[in-house]
């Protein structure tokens, strides 16, 4: 009896132990990285039916907006070729964390992304030289390749544009009001006009039928990138432009007054009081915009799918440049660039590397791949293989093209040279405190100017 008892207990313990191991194997990050990412493994089960070439692709995707489409595309590729493709998408604003923990694993991502020269600094040891692959050969311009010491370590795959997305229908309603500051949305060509319009809409919000001119400037840490990074790009861009440089080890903050002016405009003419933005998210802003509670929403082309899903029509959407009152801004266009560079993991196995490159080449040359990238994901790509029939044609992309046609200069994405995430976080925190009234603008200036020098030094001394 005792013997039986002992055997039963021991068996139970071993079972529990195996469960522990299985559990340790399965989830990513465990309890310290809660709800970080959603994993979709397409092929875990059908390994036996695969050809024995052995290579597989594991893509750690940066863009949650396109997670579903990537998963679908992966499935198509696997049915076509039998090569397993796993797509995993990091949750908003957690890409670096997720990448870091995924890289520790035996099955590490074979394909991942860096956000530009600064991101490359962290991961350069993991980046394979892509020279000679179709990815590089097919690039329309060399500026879309991320180079270091003559090697191409990353290739941009999505050119994106952001600005002030506006509700055409609502802005036209406003324009039709007696005494409106402008007669058509196109009349907004500088900061002064934008300010006059926004303040007038805010004053006459009942007549326009909105709660505010701007959507809430959500500064929850999941969403503050719209302001600490994208909006901050404008003063950086103008300073670089004035100094004729592409990168700086110490910015002066010459255009910070413009940054302040536009931030003031955003927070004081919005759907909620400035003291409340600490609890608001980008999702809140999108909902307000879709419900017609606000006219302007600062975001970019990647938001298109979300806006359509929320019930908006193409005709309701337009995009204006973000003006900050800098000299020469009448010729300023939208902010266009890329912070999405594909990198192939050099430390992956030979078979996996060639499988990954083959997958990428398929993505940019096959009909299914091009259709998915251009139409389903709505990317404007920098590859020559994407002809007329594979251009994204949503109104936000069109706005970008229109401004180019008008001869406006696109604002480049200077924010990819921001020295560190810490710089962004500190600027974001100071912006929030300024908005809440618990901090002053001096703190933003300090975080912006002094923080830049400090972070640049810290990032480059090592």
| Interaction between residue 44 and other proteins (CB under 8 A) | no
Closest CA to 211 of 129, 280, 296, 126: 296
CB of 306 to other proteins, least distance (A): 21
358 φψ region: left (φ > 0), alpha (ψ -120 to 50), beta (else): alpha
CB of 441 to other proteins, least distance (A): 15
CB of 457 to other proteins, least distance (A): 10
CB of 211 to other proteins, least distance (A): 14
Closest CA to 331 of 260, 415, 404: 404
- Please choose, out of 118-126, 202-210, 284-292, 295-303, the segment that lies near other proteins by the rule CB under 8 A: 118-126
Please say whether the beta carbons of 349 and 174 come within 8 A: no
Rg of the chain taking only CA atoms, in angstroms? 24
Closest CA to 160 of 359, 384, 319: 319
Please say whether the beta carbons of 382 and 144 come within 8 A: yes
| Interaction between residue 148 and other proteins (CB under 8 A) | no
Between 37 and 396, name the residue whose CB sits nearer to other proteins: 37
| Interaction between residue 56 and other proteins (CB under 8 A) | no
Quick one: tokens of 189? 């060509």
CB of 273 to other proteins, least distance (A): 6
Element (H, E) at 353: helix 350-365
Pairing of strands 409-411, 332-337: parallel
Q: Give residues 149-168 in contact with other proteins (rule: CB under 8 A).
A: none
Quick one: tokens of 394? 């949503």
Count of residues engaged in binding other proteins, rule: CB under 8 A: 46
SS3 per-residue string spanning 212-249: EEECCCCCCCCCCHHHHHHHCHHHHHHHHHHHCCCCCC
| Interaction between residue 103 and other proteins (CB under 8 A) | yes
| Interaction between residue 430 and other proteins (CB under 8 A) | yes
Between 278 and 410, name the residue whose CB sits nearer to other proteins: 278
The Cα–Cα gap between 416 and 246 comes to: 10
Residue 394, helix vs strand vs coil: coil
CB of 125 to other proteins, least distance (A): 7
Closest CA to 276 of 209, 341, 219, 324: 219
| Interaction between residue 273 and other proteins (CB under 8 A) | yes
Q: Give residues 186-225 in contact with other proteins (rule: CB under 8 A).
A: 220-221
| Interaction between residue 250 and other proteins (CB under 8 A) | no
User: Which of 2, 150, 311, 405 touches other proteins by CB under 8 A?
Assistant: 2
- Please choose, out of 8-16, 73-81, 197-205, 365-373, the segment that lies near other proteins by the rule CB under 8 A: 8-16
CB of 270 to other proteins, least distance (A): 14
| Interaction between residue 387 and other proteins (CB under 8 A) | no
| Interaction between residue 438 and other proteins (CB under 8 A) | yes
The Cα–Cα gap between 278 and 267 comes to: 11
Exposed/middle/buried for 132, CB within 10 Å: 0-12, 13-18, 19+? exposed
User: Which of 4, 16, 22, 26 touches other proteins by CB under 8 A?
Assistant: 16
User: Which of 72, 96, 368, 402 touches other proteins by CB under 8 A?
Assistant: 96
The Cα–Cα gap between 246 and 66 comes to: 30
Give the N- to C-terminal CA distance of the chain in Å, as an integer. Answer: 66
Between 136 and 459, name the residue whose CB sits nearer to other proteins: 459
- Please choose, out of 199-207, 248-256, 395-403, 425-433, the segment that lies near other proteins by the rule CB under 8 A: 425-433
User: Which of 25, 104, 142, 206 touches other proteins by CB under 8 A?
Assistant: 104
Interacting residues toward other proteins by CB under 8 A: 2, 6, 9-10, 13-14, 16-17, 20, 24, 31-32, 34-35, 96-97, 100, 103-104, 121-123, 125, 220-221, 273, 275-276, 278-279, 420-422, 425-426, 429-430, 432-433, 436, 438-439, 454, 458-459, 462
């Amino acid at each position: 009896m005792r013997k039986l008892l002992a055997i039963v207990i021991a068996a139970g313990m071993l079972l529990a132990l195996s469960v522990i191991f299985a559990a340790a194997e399965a989830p990513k990050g465990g309890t310290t990285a809660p709800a970080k990412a959603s994993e979709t493994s397409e092929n875990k089960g059908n390994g036996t039916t695969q050809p024995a070439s052995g290579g597989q692709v594991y893509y750690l995707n940066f863009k949650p907006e396109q997670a579903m489409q990537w998963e679908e595309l992966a499935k198509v590729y696997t049915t076509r070729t039998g090569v397993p493709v796993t797509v995993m998408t990091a949750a908003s604003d957690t890409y670096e964390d997720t990448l870091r923990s995924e890289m520790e694993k035996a099955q590490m991502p074979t394909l991942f992304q860096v956000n530009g020269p600064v991101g490359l600094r962290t991961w350069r040891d993991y980046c394979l030289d892509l020279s000679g692959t179709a990815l590089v050969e097919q690039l329309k311009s060399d500026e879309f390749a991320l180079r270091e010491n003559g090697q191409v370590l990353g290739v941009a795959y999505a050119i994106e544009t952001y600005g002030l997305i506006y509700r055409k229908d609502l802005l036209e309603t406003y324009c039709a009001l007696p005494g409106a500051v402008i007669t058509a949305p196109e009349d907004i060509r500088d900061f002064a006009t934008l300010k006059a319009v926004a303040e007038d809409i805010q004053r006459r919000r009942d007549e326009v039928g909105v709660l505010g001119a701007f959507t809430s400037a959500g500064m929850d840490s999941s969403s503050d990138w719209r302001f600490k990074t994208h909006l901050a790009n404008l003063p950086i861009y103008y300073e670089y432009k004035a100094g004729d440089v592409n990168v700086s080890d110490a910015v002066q903050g010459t255009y910070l007054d413009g940054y302040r002016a536009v931030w003031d405009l955003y927070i004081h003419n919005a759907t909620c009081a400035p003291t409340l933005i600490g609890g608001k998210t980008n999702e809140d802003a999108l909902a307000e915009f879709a419900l017609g509670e606000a006219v302007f929403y600062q975001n970019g082309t990647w938001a298109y799918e979300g806006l359509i899903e929320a019930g908006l029509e193409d005709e309701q959407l337009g995009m204006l440049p973000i003006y900050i009152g800098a000299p020469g801004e009448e010729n300023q266009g939208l902010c266009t660039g890329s912070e999405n560079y594909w990198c192939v993991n050099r430390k992956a196995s030979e078979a996996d590397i060639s499988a990954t490159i083959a997958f990428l080449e398929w993505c940019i040359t096959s009909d299914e791949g091009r259709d998915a990238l251009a139409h389903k994901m709505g990317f404007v790509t920098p590859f020559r293989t994407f002809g007329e029939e594979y251009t994204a044609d949503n109104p936000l992309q069109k706005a970008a093209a229109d401004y180019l046609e008008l001869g406006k200069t696109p604002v480049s994405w200077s924010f990819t040279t921001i020295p560190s995430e810490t710089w962004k976080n500190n600027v974001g925190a100071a912006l929030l405190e300024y908005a809440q009234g618990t901090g002053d603008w001096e703190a933003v200036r300090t975080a912006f100017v002094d923080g830049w020098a400090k972070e640049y030094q810290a990032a480059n001394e090592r």
